[in-house]
Structure 1
Amino acid sequence: MRKIIFLITLLGLLTGRMAAQSVTVDAKIDSLQILIGEQTKITLEVSTDADKRAIFPVYTDTIVKGVEIIDIAKPDTQYLNDRKRLLIKQEYTITSFDSALYYLPPMQVLVDNKPYQSKALALKVYSVPLDTLRFYGPKPVMAAPFVWKDWYGVMACGILLIPFGFLLVYLIMRIFDNKPIIRKVKVEPKLPPHQLALQEIERIKAEKVWQKGMQKEYYTELTDALRGYIKDRFGFNALEMTSSEIIAKLLEVNDKDAIADLRSLFETADLVKFAKHNPLMNENDANLINAIDFINETKVQEDDNAKPQPTEITVIEKRSLRMKILLGAGIVVLSIAVIASLIYIGTELYSYFA
């Protein structure tokens, strides 16, 4: 019985040792000695079962103080023993800028959340030896070669300075020159009164509003056209007078026969507007013809071939406050542009020749 217990215990110890040996962690460094600024690589290897998960250490900037990490490569995974085992390699590129002997502590790997550590490493960093026999001292500062592309901005500013300068001088002269603005304006001649009236009657005739039952609107527009003609032709304000007053005034200055038909037109218009009279269609046409006849009989005779020429008048205006503000704003903007261009050109020339 004691022998059986001893064998079982021994078997358990051997099994645990084999399990403990199923994970191995090893670290290697390519070069134990480097010069300041040179690089070397640390290779961290983990061997474990394929069904286990390994987590490698993550470094931010340094492994230890003075040893900086330049790059961390992606892990390289290999399957072994019919894919039963894994061999994972992780490379860390390191460097140092201080000469010293550095102790690199063991690197810890988690396998199924259980920590395993590699062996410690060492790195010796040497300073660069100075060859005094070949040291010739500091070299003089070399002038940069001339490149046209570097001077495009200066040339553009120089070219723009010319029109900007002329425009600035012009605006300054304008704002200090307080003379009034003189403009020539062409005034188109006004049509004679009879032509304006006949155009209005033609419009009324074309619309034929009396055929739509709008008798009052028709006679109102027709008499208004005649009132406007009488005002411009005979010189009294027919627009503010009654029909009888207009007829009485016309009798003083015109032929009675020419006014007879006009009197009939005004009487019919008053009946339509104030007594709701409904004239016949031929009566409407007759009144339209009477209005045209009255205008033709009383118009001022003129040469039909003579075309009135536009009149040119001179308008003198004082410079407005708005114009002065615009001139002042233009002077300020151009002054800033000119000064900025001069400063930029001067700075570039000074930097080049200094």
Structure 2
Amino acid sequence: MKNKLYLFVLTLFSVSVFAQQKQVTTAIDTTKNKIGAEFKLTLKTNVDTLSKVVFPNLKNFGAFEVIQSYPIDTIKKDDRYELVKKYGLTQFDSGKYTIPRLPVLINNKPFLTDSIRVEVNPVAVDTLKQKMYDIKDIVPVKESSDWWIYVLIILAIAAIGYFVYRYIQKRQNKNINELAFKTPIEKATILLNSLEKKELWQRGEIKTYYSELTDIARNYIEEAIHIPAMESTTSELIVALRAASAKNKIKLTPETAKNLERVLKQADLVKFAKSKPLDFEITEDRNKIEKVIVTLDQSIPEAIDENDAHQKELQRQKMIKKQKRNRILITVGVVLLLLFITTGYFIATKGFGYVKDAVIGNTSKDLVEGEWVFSEYGDPGVRVETPRVLRRLDASKSVPKDAAALIKDMTSFGLNTMTDEMYINVSTITYKKETELDLNKAYEEYLKIMEMRGAKNIFMKPEDFKTQQGIDGIRGYGTMSFIDPIQQKSNKVYCEILLFKQAGGLQQIMVAHAEGDKYGEQILSRVINSVELKTTAQ
């Protein structure tokens, strides 16, 4: 019957542990202080030069707030190091408190500090000398968060991508104008108007103005009449134009030829002889070129090549699509480059894990940074701080009939399952009759039950443990693996268990997390350090 009782008790709970060896010494500067004053807690450990030591990094040590974490002092003695870590603690409520046992990792193995009782005394106030004021209303404090930094970075990258897209689009539109014109006259007219908007000669750029003005005229003649106007001298162009007009029956008046020749010669003087025409002359030359182009266009016999126009339009549409695709590819490339640079910066400054958790998300990280609750569970009560309120579990179906007859009351509360990244369980049980339990034997039976339930590669170590209230128990720590039923892969977890027996009752707190999860380690340490037990007599 006793063995069955052990098996039943162990099926309700899960396992965890902290090593307990005298490897760390603990001291405090004073055991009595005033409200809000600083207690200086000192932790010392003596290790060899190859050992790796990690001191606690928590915001609270039990009921005390950590207001200062001082740098580690290192004292070398022969081939060993003495590491000294100091913390500044405070409490704003008077009373007697206990600084709990804290885990110090030496070569990834946890060692516990000693617990220390301290007293926080109120400050006596002489109300005859010190004027008293009403208590102010509670002011809500907004939680600090750096989420807005990521929003600003994303908005900045998006804005840069937008301006890159618009800049490329503007540059491409200039190149596509050549295909946008359906006729040479349309192109020449638009280019003349565009030249005037530049106001080149008004700013003194007369040479540039005449160069573009004559290029517009030459380009029109080359496209409309099909003679090599861009490569010809002024004289050669006039001769070729007269020959083409006679051949193609183009009505070229002497005035038109004279005006064109005059403007071309004026442009040659400006470009090669540094001539500077007067303002009214420049205006007249512009008007003459426009009149020459219009007159020639009206004189050319109509011979619309619809197939050629259609091909030009198809080519233009094809180029538009190609340029749009290029704009998108270049913009995406710039955005990805900026994201790569930004990500690289955060990886270099804060580590790859930080970036991965910020982008992909991390359940354990969310639990650490969330709002924790301090609640009492079961009877005899177990008070513990957890990242979420634990949910009541129905364990009645797993209770054998013969064992159920011995139980007076049983409760079990948990968060997640053993295959999740984080698992917490608090369980209590009371019996109808006082039952003497052997915790060591119960612990061994528990490991066998865990193996029957699918645990593999179990490496657990038990240690005797005593709470600050003097309640004896067992603390175990180690690792085991479970098969994830969904992904069908083995998950290795680190787990710790606190197991206590009391007259007529049993209390257990169990925490487990994925091995190597730094946030899981923080949660485990905070949960274990917050445990307060109620005895059956309370």
For normalisation by structure 1, the TM-score amounts to: 0.33
For normalisation by structure 2, the TM-score amounts to: 0.24
Larger radius of gyration: 1
